[in-house]
Amino acid sequence: MFELSIKNDFAASHCLRGYKGKCERLHGHTWKVEVVLKGKALDKIGMVIDFMIIKRNLHEFLEELDHHHLNDHPYFKKVNPTTENIARYIYDAFSKKCRPLKIKKVTVWESDNASITYYP
């Protein structure tokens, strides 16, 4: 089994519904995202997948979140846009763009000192 790790980031605003404190007000982060994928097979040149392909896919995926207010995103209209839920959303939605590889986990940092990792 091989594990492949890619990183990217996006900037967005959000307000936490039901939270009592500063984070209930409009604020933003530059979220850093790490996606760890796993695969068993190597292609004919000995790669799980070309890093350029999967990095481009993650960049394109995160574009839908970048410089948006997350509370307005269809998913987050129903789900509170916490860092935990952002990690789960990326895991679930980005999985469709990673086949035949499988996502092992997604880690999202809302700051240099605070991160959440989601895996099923």
CATH of the domain at 33: 3.30.479.10
**Is 84 a known active-site residue?**
no
Which structural domain, as residue segments, surrounds residue 51? 2-118
Token pair 């307000």 in the structure block, residue: 15
Residue tagged active-site, from 23, 27, 60, 64: 23
Q: Is 23 a catalytic residue?
A: yes
At residue 98 the predicted structure's pLDDT band, cuts being 50, 70 and 90, is confident
Catalytic residue among 14, 34, 98, 110: 110
Q: Which of 24, 60, 63, 67 is catalytic?
A: 67
Distance CA 66, CA 117 (A): 20
Supply the pTM of this predicted model.
0.94
**Does residue 15 have an active-site annotation?**
no
Express each pLDDT in 37-91 by its tens digit: 999 989 999 999 999 999 999 999 999 999 999 999 999 999 999 999 999 999 9
Domain count within the chain: 1
